[in-house]
Amino acid sequence: MPRPERRFVTFSIDGREVSAPEGVMLVDGAKYGDVEIPVFCYEPKLGAPVGACRMCLVEVEGIPKLQTACSTPVKDGMVVHTQTDRVREAQNSVIEFLLVNHPLDCPVCDKGGECPLQDITFGWGRGISRMVEPKRHFKKPLELSPLIAIDRERCILCYRCVRFSQEVSEDYQLVLNERGASTYVGTFDGHPYVAPFSGNIIELCPVGALTSRAYRFRARPWDIEGAGSVCTHCPAQCNVEFTVRDERVLRVLARDNEGVDDGWLCDKGRFAYQAIHSEERITEPLVRDSESGELVPATWEYALDVAAAALQAGGSKTAALAGGTTTNEEGFLLQRVVREALKSPHVDSRAGLPQVDLGLQQALAAPGLQATIPDLEFAHTVLVLGTDPIDDVASLDLRIRKGVRRNGVKLAVATSRPSALDPNAKLWLRYAPGGEHAFVAALEAAVTGSGDLSALCDAADADPKALEALAALLKDGGEDVVILWSQRLGAAPLPALLNVAAALRLEGRDGAGLIEVPVGGNGRGLREAGVQSNGGPGLSAPKAPGKPAREIAAALASGDLSTLWLLHADPVRDYADRRLWERAAANADALVAHATLLNDTLREHATVVFPAESYAEKEGTIVNLDGRVQRLRVAIGRPGAVRAEWQVIADLSKRLGLDLGVLTGPMATRQLVEAVPFYAGLTLKEIGGRGVRWQEREAASAAPAAPAGPVESGEPLPAPRPNGALRLGTYRPIWAAPEVEVSPALKFLAAKQQAELSPVDAERLGVDNGAKVSVTAGDATVLAKVFVRGNVPAGTVFLAEATAEQSATELLGEAPQLVSVEPYGQRPPVPLEGLARGARPSDDEVNS
């Protein structure tokens, strides 16, 4: 549905004339007249008000009884009173009632000093209590989950947490147990509340009933400072506020930005801050000792000299890879050094995915074709294509659910793997892993009415009737259509996707368009900064095209390239074909890396490792998935000898004979803005705390436009046929990340390998849920536990990428593969020396 138009009405409150948007609740409308009405249960982000706490009672002329301001919409000519004797008596009584059993925990309660109950008691309470009876007591605190503690006697039954669980995240785990005075918040049968967004209830709680176990008793409000910044763990780039004490991040809170995150955080963004202060953090330069062969601490000058000499020796045979947490400025300076100082064109940031033609990139990035994140909430129809937001861009999962629930958005999900959004979808359909090109081509044929739909669906192993229904939904379900698509689709399907957008007339239409989900946290920004093999800053053509990541790996393994420079990148863990990258790292003459944590590849092969900043220590800009340029701000000082990344790159460049002319972070930003035409004139002040979408600025006219006619999409290859084996599909879980594994609060969520099978395949293989299986492709084997999932397509097995052990990247080659799945232990085990490193079973698995 289109966004509702805002029409203002005038009403009177406490004798003053106030104008407010028609239909807003009185509690919000009063703020337009600088009148505060106290609330506990009301929170606009939770949806329709429930009027549970009765704290917001006001007097409305013409209505005999007091009304709850949270559930009474403003109307033209309404006369409201918030300061009458009746209102004061009611508010005093509500406060007194809430405090009857509330414990006097304020001196030790984590909420003390920032508690709405304290503030409202002092502002609207009576100041005395007539109750002399003993207060009720419960065992405290209880572990609601490994992340959250609950003190039940503090709870005022505002229902916020339960409503979040049931109406926002829709995990339906929190409930109100018992009735009357015995009511308390809990879960069914006492199961832990484990969900991707569970930490939001801590911030929602208006008292100290729900507290973070990681933050509990760590600080008081007068000990801390707040520092606003942006989370870089995924492309959503949610706005956050760091709670800082003594140069340590103790807590992460949401910083509401309606255009980005709607005020919610996933648990990874909320709790993975602990990785910043991990004991495993690299805090000084490390250089490989020639005698012992080990990495040893070194001074900055020596480490810079060794790294510069290694890069100089590599020269044009050097390749550089930037990871998703790299800022635009760092990526821009990196590609300058590689291209200008080392005369090498080999630089990339696309996580090993296929290279996309530059003209195609420009067409997909055309400003008129870009939808915004809020469009997902108000579009007539949303198509989620090739991505599961819960894993790839978590906060968008909540945004899409909100659109379906509140605004009647018609949701369609088209993925190879079952999605968490399937139950919310009006239509969901599957295609085979490796059949992405054929599927999007089939969608183009169905939307445009041209092409052999049956043959294309057969190639994609998709249901033609379901695809026709999808095309009908997109064409007839309303003009505002948003397609959320994943970079993981690869390069081949993109021309067909452009043609679908053209057929649906999405170009230049407000509220409609495409949104790409990049693989890295700043994947879009790095491409726009020129960190790709076939594109320079501003998606311009480079002087010489270079090799994409996969070709870089092959060239390093064969000796055609000699030196590898890694900036926040771990290709062995994150990119496909792990064994190829292991050979590449082992065969490289030199490996220079910037990292916050050591991994096996760096321990074994790195020449120099520079300590990298965390996102709480960085200064610079990043770009989220809908083109919003946002600022990272320094929240804490850098530990040990850590230096700013731009400074390290500038020092290296000077040793390589190229003076970048960068003395401060803002100077690097200025160079970036001058090099990217559609950023022209952008300043840090303009970006501010909310960011700015570059498509909405005048300079966006310098960006390429979408193609006028159909784009040739080529003949799609069919998805592999199982023929007794299983097709391999992969995904990256939200919890498959080093920062999760080193954060004490999140360790229990660290991703373990599991094989998702259909009930048909599980029965055929003779395995049950939780059974161990070996998944084999060629001479590589991965061990996994079986997870039988109802709507997994038969003939397919899904494995997780980037897990610490037994990663699916061990099996991924250049083309989609068939794998064999067998119950583990029913055949002679593969000798350990015959397995590639990373594919061997653990000691526990061997012993079992």
Q: Residue 60: helix, strand or coil by DSSP?
A: strand
Which pLDDT does position 816 carry in this prediction? 64
Which pLDDT does position 429 carry in this prediction? 95
814 by Cβ neighbours in 10 Å (0-12 / 13-18 / 19+) ranks as exposed
How many other β-carbons are positioned within 10 Å of the β-carbon of residue 156? 22
Report, as an integer, the average pLDDT of 311-333.
Answer: 97
Residue 181 has pLDDT above 90, yes or no: no
CATH code 3.40.228.10 region(s) in the chain: 360-517
If you write DSSP's letter for every residue of 362-383 in order, what string do you get? HHHT-GGGB--TTHHHH-SEEE
691: left (phi over 0), alpha (psi -120 to 50) or beta: left
Cα distance between residue 223 and residue 211, in whole Å: 18
- In 308-455 the beta strands, taken as DSSP E runs, fall at 318-322, 347-348, 381-385, 410-415, 427-430
Do 761 and 797 form a contact (C-beta atoms < 8 A)? yes
The strand pair at 590-595 and 608-611 is best described as parallel
Which pLDDT does position 837 carry in this prediction? 33
Summarize pLDDT for 655-680 with one digit per residue, the tens: 999 999 999 999 999 999 999 999 99
Cα distance between residue 632 and residue 622, in whole Å: 7
Residue 805 has pLDDT above 70, yes or no: yes
Q: pLDDT tier at 705 (50, 70, 90 boundaries)?
A: confident
Which pLDDT does position 409 carry in this prediction? 96
Q: pLDDT tier at 3 (50, 70, 90 boundaries)?
A: confident
Which pLDDT does position 834 carry in this prediction? 37
Report, as an integer, the average pLDDT of 48-68.
Answer: 94
Summarize pLDDT for 770-801 with one digit per residue, the tens: 999 999 998 899 999 999 998 899 999 999 99
Chain centroid, CA 672 distance in Å = 25
Which pLDDT does position 841 carry in this prediction? 43
User: Would you tell me which CATH number, out of the four given (3.60.20.30, 3.90.580.10, 3.40.50.740, 3.90.1660.10), belongs to the domain 286-353+525-688?
Assistant: 3.40.50.740
- Range of weakest confidence among 141-150, 175-184, 326-335, 506-515: 175-184
CATH code 3.30.70.20 region(s) in the chain: 134-276
Mean pLDDT of the chain: 93
Cis peptide before 759 (omega within 30 of 0): no
What is the CATH T-level fold of the domain 8-98, as seen in this structure? Ubiquitin-like (UB roll) (3.10.20)
Phi, psi dihedral angles at 224 (to 5 degrees): -120, 165
- Range of weakest confidence among 78-92, 170-184, 393-407: 170-184
Q: How far is CA 369 from CA 84, 325, 357, 498, 776, in A?
A: 54, 26, 18, 9, 42
Which pLDDT does position 831 carry in this prediction? 40
CATH code 3.10.20.740 region(s) in the chain: 8-98
Extract the tokens encoding 17: 């004339």
Q: Residue 113: helix, strand or coil by DSSP?
A: coil
Which pLDDT does position 215 carry in this prediction? 96
Q: pLDDT tier at 825 (50, 70, 90 boundaries)?
A: confident
Residue 500 has pLDDT above 60, yes or no: yes
What is the CATH T-level fold of the domain 726-847, as seen in this structure? Barwin-like endoglucanases (2.40.40)
Report, as an integer, the average pLDDT of 694-709.
Answer: 88
Summarize pLDDT for 362-403 with one digit per residue, the tens: 999 999 999 999 999 999 999 999 999 999 999 999 999 999
Which pLDDT does position 137 carry in this prediction? 85
Q: What percent of the chain has pLDDT over 90?
A: 87
* Yes or no: domain 134-276 corresponds to CATH 3.40.50.850: no
Cα distance between residue 631 and residue 12, in whole Å: 41
Spell out the residues 6+ positions from residue 374 whose beta carbon is closer than 8 angstroms to its own: 258, 259, 399
Which pLDDT does position 2 carry in this prediction? 60
Cα distance between residue 52 and residue 54, in whole Å: 6
Q: What percent of the chain has pLDDT over 70?
A: 97
Cα distance between residue 732 and residue 575, in whole Å: 11
Which pLDDT does position 1 carry in this prediction? 54
Sign of CA dihedral 521, 524, 526, 527: positive
CATH code 3.40.50.740 region(s) in the chain: 286-353+525-688
Which pLDDT does position 182 carry in this prediction? 84
What is the CATH T-level fold of the domain 360-517, as seen in this structure? Dimethylsulfoxide Reductase; domain 2 (3.40.228)
In terms of pLDDT, which residue wins out, 583 or 4? Answer: 583
Which pLDDT does position 128 carry in this prediction? 82
How many other β-carbons are positioned within 10 Å of the β-carbon of residue 688? 11
Summarize pLDDT for 608-649 with one digit per residue, the tens: 999 999 999 999 999 999 999 999 999 999 999 999 999 999
Residue 847 has pLDDT above 70, yes or no: no
The strand pair at 563-567 and 590-595 is best described as parallel
Summarize pLDDT for 240-293 with one digit per residue, the tens: 999 999 999 999 999 999 999 999 999 999 999 999 999 999 999 999 998 899
